[in-house]
Amino acid sequence: MKVYLKILSFLTPLIALAISFGLTTFILILIDRDPVETFTLMFDYGTTGKSIISILNRSIPLYISAVAVAVGFKMGMFNIGVEGQYILGALIAAQVGAVLILPRPLHVLTIFIVAAVVSGIWAGISGYLKVKKGVHEVISTIMLNYIGAGIVAYLLANIFFEKDEDNSLKVPQTNYLSESGQLPPLNNILGLEELPNLNSFIVGAVFVGIFYYWLVWKTSLGFDLRATGLNPVAAKFSGADPNKLIVLAMLISGGIAGLVGMSNLVGYFHRYTIDFPTGLGFAGITVALLGRNHPVGMALGALLISFLERSSQILDLNNIPKEIERIMQGIVILVVVVSYEVVRRYILTQEVKLASRMVDKDE
Amino acid sequence: MSNFLNFIKDNKEKTFFIFILFWLLVIAQIETYSQLTTSGTFAATMRLAIPILLAGLGGIFSERSGVVNIGLEGMMIMGTWFGAWAAWLYGPWWGVAAGIFGGLIFGLIHAIATVSFQVDHIVSGVAINILAAGTARFFSVVAYANESQGGATQSPRISGEISSFSLPFLSGGTFLGNETSDLLRNLEDLNLFFISDISGLLGGLTRDISYLSFIALSLVPICMWVLWSTPFGLQLRSVGEFPVGSESLGINVYLMKYIGVTLSGAFSGLAGAYLVIESSGIYRENQTGGRGFIALASVIFGNWRPTGVLMGSGLFGYADALQLRSEESVHGLLLLISIVLLALSVYLLFNKKSRNGAISLLMAFGFGIWFLNSTSVPNEFVYFTPHITTLVVLSFASQRLRMPKSVGQPYKKGEGG
């Protein structure tokens, strides 16, 4: 590949971001706000120490969610159900964690495993329905999101509610995890005592990223996954069993999705409450698309989205609707998918031209 | 008798369907569950089914032209927002127009992304949904933040409503300015098996029908006519089956796809506007509640046909209506499910499919025990009835469906050489 094509491919995200900023500027002018002032405010607020910690904390679940989506993407499957998978996993894990009494590392580990297994099974249903019943995974995962949300609401209101001695209190939240089920923040280790808490599950997110890289690019299973995603027919003839892979991919994707809620569960809320953040599953799709399913790209994408979310909080104080961030996210995602596709096709045609020129020279 | 048995053998699905309906009627005779077949329930069914029906009809246009449209939900969201905004400012019919416009714009965006830039259809659809949700929130803040009843997540109440009519003689409508009899109501009040239930159905569908509902329902035959009886429809469908061949015949493939996808946006926008104007009278965030996705599902198990979508949306509307109108009658459905599963298990065991038969039998007992040991179904379960219905129906139907051949595949002009 020629050098300039490589550079172009590398620059695409930046071009897409520039276009998105241009469109946002246009919208800001339309509603009569000063775009320069807006972006300056966001940048200044988003780069304070407190904000950086907040951005890192927000990025953890976003990144894991993106990885969960990306595992599916790699073999041409769309797991749009990360949303339902992680809330169900987090609730069950919170309940199990609240009941269990175990020594610390084991307790936390058990919580993670329960969440991963529950979410994995929930995602596995979609894999099963696709293989055995021919139901497209997009439809089934979306429907399972609604069903999962309903089950969570039911369990929280009727079975897993907070219990005191005489069972009179019926607050829809699980009991607190005992000390051994909690992860303390990283601040003491890093010497950041004066800043807000940095969630230690950030280490978990890094591990998830490394695991994803190892699984997809360094194992034969990962090779089969990618091969099936690129050319299902060829992969089948090379001996990959597509049905087995579909179910496996959904199980793995769901298992990773189960970890989405863990930073909030063991590191912040220490229980499942109605304040537990939702929408991380859909945000994960944005991040996966933004980062082109690349482990590092998705990390940058997660940081970018978190930065936008955090830094826009200042805008309301200055009479600029902070919801401009929501529309920005939407624009970014749409511009990104279009520009990636355009550049991909451009590079493809250039490569074909180069190849044919080389063939001509040989003759 | 042997004729009868042969009929059953040849028409298994029809028999099964009639069997379900029969038991539904029987259960509806019990006082507690009488809401299962009243005209009020059917009227609510229609109101709740129409948004899904409209978005589904839009989905047909898009999918028949070869473009998967998972963005129906987002286009519907734009319909609700623009519909409420214009209806609040200028009245309901302006709301309808603005809703269509809002959906159409997002349909156009989907068309640009998928047809001109050949972005993956599902990726683009997901992006459309995210963009629509963000846009609606942002617009709400800009337009409603300073209004007394409005805010970041809801609009002020819309002004005025679309007028309605009843069928004269049968449902008590006016004829040449005179009041007429309400025959169907009288029949319904007699509480006769079958006759009163059918009268309830017909009465619910013909009494106090708003003109917008009437237009929506009449779009079903219009869509059938356009897609199957006009040259345009033939061209649109051919593009979704075999675009290379269509292009060789001089059909403008891109144009057809653009029309199909943009129309689907307009239909979804109308669906959103209907939701606001006929159901709630107000825009609320997340009001669509996945109806766009359910519409897409009903396109699939409706086998990409308007009548199929009509039936699918009717089913969801019915489930939704029962949930809204009476919790007891949803409880009655447990009994119905139990009976149907029991019959299914007998059939399966009779045909030596012992594993599936046993599962079915077990589930029949499960639902039976649930029915006997409870007086109502938890609200949270009722809420996802339509979604679980979608999964169950798709699990049974998916393998026998025939989708447009090239749906979901990006097409580049001149691909055929």
A133 vs B145, B293, B398: nearest CB: B398
What residues in B contact A345, CB-CB < 8 Å?
118
Give residue B417's pLDDT: 62
* Torsional sign, CA A34, A36, A37, A38: positive
Q: Which amino acid is at B70?
A: I
Say if A151 is an interface residue toward chain B (CB within 8 Å). yes
User: With 70 as the cut, is the pLDDT of residue B324 above it?
Assistant: yes
Contacts of A133 in chain B (CB under 8 A): 394-396, 398-399
Distance CA B55, CA B34 (A): 31
Closest by Cα among A73, A23, A330, A292 to B126: A330
Segment among A103-117, B66-80, B96-110, B147-161 with least mean pLDDT:
B147-161
Q: What is the pLDDT of residue A168?
A: 63
Helix (H) / strand (E) containing A62: helix A49-74
Q: What is the pLDDT of residue B1?
A: 59
Does the structure show a pLDDT above 60 at A1? no
For domain A61-304, give its CATH number from 1.20.1070, 2.60.40, 1.10.3470, 3.30.1120. Answer: 1.10.3470
Taking 80 as the threshold, does the pLDDT of residue A357 lie above it?
Answer: yes
Of A146, A323, A337, the CB nearest to B384: A146
- By Cβ distance, the residue of B123, B133, B142 closest to A289 is B123
Reduce the secondary structure of B200-224 to three states and give it as a string. Answer: HHHHHHHCCEEHHHHHHHHHHHHHH
Smallest CA–CA distance from B410 into chain A, residue? A341
Q: 3-class secondary structure for B357-401?
A: HHHHHHHHHHHHHHHHCCCCCCHHHHHCHHHHHHHHHHHHHHHHC
| CA–CA dist A256, A209 (Å, integer) | 10
Q: Is the pLDDT of residue B414 over 80?
A: no
A114-123, A207-216, B135-144, B399-408: which has the minimum mean pLDDT? Answer: B399-408
> Measured between alpha carbons, how far is A10 from B66 in angstroms, rounded to an integer?
32
CB of A323 less than 8 A from some CB of B: yes
Predicted pLDDT of residue A133: 87
The DSSP secondary-structure symbol of B179 reads E
Nearest residue to B326 (alpha-carbon basis) of B293, B287, B375, B278: B375
Worst-scoring range by mean pLDDT, A163-167, B319-323, B360-364? A163-167
- Report CB contact under 8 Å: B399, A129: no
Selected residue of A146, A280, A286, A348 to mutate for chain B interface (largest B Cβ count, 10 A) = A146
Min Cα distance B265 → chain A (Å) is 17
How far is B244 from B112, CA to CA, in rounded Å? 20
Distance of alpha carbon B256 from the chain centroid: 25
Subunit contact B131:A323, Cβ cutoff 8 A? no
Contacts 24+ apart (CB under 8 A), A164-167: none
How far does the CA of residue B6 sit from the closest CA of chain A (Å)? 29
Least confident of A268-277, B167-176, B239-248, B279-288: B167-176
- For residue A28, give the nearest of A334, A319, A338 by alpha carbon: A319
CA distance linking residue A322 with residue A277, whole number of Å:
19
Closest by CA position to B142, among listed A265, A69, A155, A316: A316
E strand or H helix at B165, and its extent? strand B164-165
- Per-residue confidence band for A256, with pLDDT thresholds at 50, 70 and 90: very high
**8 Å CB contact of A139 and B394:** yes
From first CA to last CA, the distance across chain A in angstroms is: 21
pLDDT at site A166: 62
Give the model's pLDDT for residue A167. Answer: 64
**HSE of A338, CA atoms in CB hemisphere, 13 A:** 23
Instruction: Render pLDDT for B34-71 as a digit per residue (tens, 0 to 9).
Output: 777 778 788 888 999 999 999 999 999 999 999 999 99
- Is B70–A151 a contact, with Cβ atoms under 8 angstroms apart? no
Q: What are phi and psi of B210, to 5 degrees?
A: -75, 155
Please report the pLDDT score of residue B386 as a whole number.
80
Query: Shortest CA distance to B376 belongs to which of B342, B336, B333?
Result: B333
Q: Which residues of B touch A140 (CB under 8 A)?
A: 391, 394
Residue B299 has pLDDT above 80, yes or no: yes
| DSSP code of residue B175 | E
Q: Cα(A286)–Cα(B74) distance, rounded to whole angstroms?
A: 15
- List own/partner pairs for A222-227 with CB under 8 A and 24 or more apart: A222/A74, A225/A71, A225/A74, A225/A75, A225/A249, A226/A74, A226/A75
Residue whose tokens read 């028949």: B64
* pLDDT score of B62: 96
Residues in A closer than 8 angstroms to B124, CB to CB, are 334, 337
Of the listed ranges A167-181, A319-333, B101-115, the least confidently predicted one is: A167-181
Of B240, B8, B220, which Cα lies nearest the Cα of B114?
Answer: B240
**Do residues A316 and A322 make contact, with C-beta atoms less than 8 angstroms apart?**
yes
A342: contact with B, CB 8 A cutoff: yes
Cβ distance A135 to B394 less than 8 Å, yes or no, reads yes
Give the A window 129-148 contacts with B, CB below 8 Å.
129, 133-136, 138-140, 142-147
Query: Which residue of chain B comes nearest to A150, CA vs CA?
Result: B380
B386/B319 Cα distance (integer angstroms): 6
- The shares of helix, strand and coil residues in chain B, as percent rounded to the nearest 5, are 75, 5, 25
B403 touches chain A (CB under 8 A): no
pLDDT at A89 over 70: yes
Chain A residues in contact with B151 by the CB 8 A cut-off are: none
Q: Which of A146-155, A237-246, B10-19, B262-271 bottoms out in mean pLDDT, i.e. has the lowest? A: B10-19
Residues in chain A: 363
Residues 6 or more apart in contact with residue B2 via CB below 8 angstroms? none
Kindly list the residues from chain A whose CB atom is less than 8 angstroms away from the CB atom of residue B132.
Answer: 330
Q: Report the mean per-residue pLDDT for chain A.
A: 88
Q: Cβ of A150 and B380 within 8 Å?
A: yes
Are B42 and B205 spatial neighbours (Cβ–Cβ below 8 Å)? Answer: yes
B172 φ/ψ sector (left φ>0, alpha ψ -120 to 50, else beta) = left
Q: Would the CB atoms of A129 and B119 count as touching at under 8 Å?
A: no
Distance from CA of A185 to the nearest CA of B (A): 32
Is A154–B127 a contact, with Cβ atoms under 8 angstroms apart? Answer: no
pLDDT at B223: 96
Give the pLDDT confidence of A266-295 residue by residue, as tens digits. Answer: 888 888 988 888 889 988 998 999 898 999
Q: Where does the pLDDT of residue B199 fall: very low under 50, low under 70, confident under 90, or very high at 90 and above? A: confident
* Length of chain B measured in residues: 417
Which of the residue ranges A296-300, B22-26, B157-161 has the most confident prediction, judged by mean pLDDT?
A: A296-300
- Is the confidence at residue B213, as pLDDT, over 80? yes
Most confident of A215-219, A268-272, B195-199: A215-219
- Cross-chain Cβ contact B134/A329 below 8 Å: yes
Residue B310 half-sphere exposure toward CB, CA atoms < 13 A: 12
> Tell me, what's the pLDDT at A165?
61
Is the Cβ pair A139, B297 closer than 8 Å? Answer: yes
pLDDT for B98 equals 96
Report CA torsion sign: B319, B321, B324, B327: negative
- B340 or B148, which is more confident? B340
Chain A residue at shortest CA distance from B397: A133
* 3-state SS assignment for residue B405: coil
The two structure tokens encoding residue B26 = 């029987």
- Does A158 sit within 8 Å of B395, measured CB to CB? no
The nearest CA of chain B is from the CA of A326 a distance in Å of: 5
- Most B-contacting residue of A20, A69, A138, A282 (CB-CB within 10 A), to test interface: A138
Backbone angles phi, psi at B404, to 5 degrees: -55, 135
Distance CA A214, CA A231 (A): 21
The count of CB pairs under 8 A between chains A and B is 124
B397 vs A: CB within 8 A: no
The reply to whether residue B131 touches residue A334, judged by beta carbons under 8 angstroms, is yes
Q: Which phi and psi (to 5°) does residue B213 adopt?
A: -60, -40
Q: B116, B391, B400, B407: best mutation site toward chain A, by most A Cβ within 10 Å?
A: B391
Of B275, B220, B234, B290, nearest to B80 by C-alpha is B275
Pick from A78-92, B132-146, B248-262, B375-389: least confident: B375-389
Taking residues B361-381, report their average pLDDT: 85
What pLDDT shows up at residue A258? Answer: 95
Neighbours of B132 (CB within 10 A): 28
Q: What is the mean pLDDT of residues B345-356?
A: 84
Give the pLDDT confidence of A102-145 residue by residue, as tens digits. Answer: 888 899 999 999 999 999 999 999 999 999 888 889 889 989 99
Contacts of residue A130, Cβ cutoff 8 Å, sequence gap at least 6: A136, A137, A140, A246, A250
CB contact under 8 A, A338 and B119: yes
Question: Which of A42-56, A95-109, B315-329 is predicted least confidently?
Answer: B315-329
What are the Cα distances from residue A20, in Å, to A219, A300, A335, B111? 37, 16, 7, 19
pTM of the model: 0.90
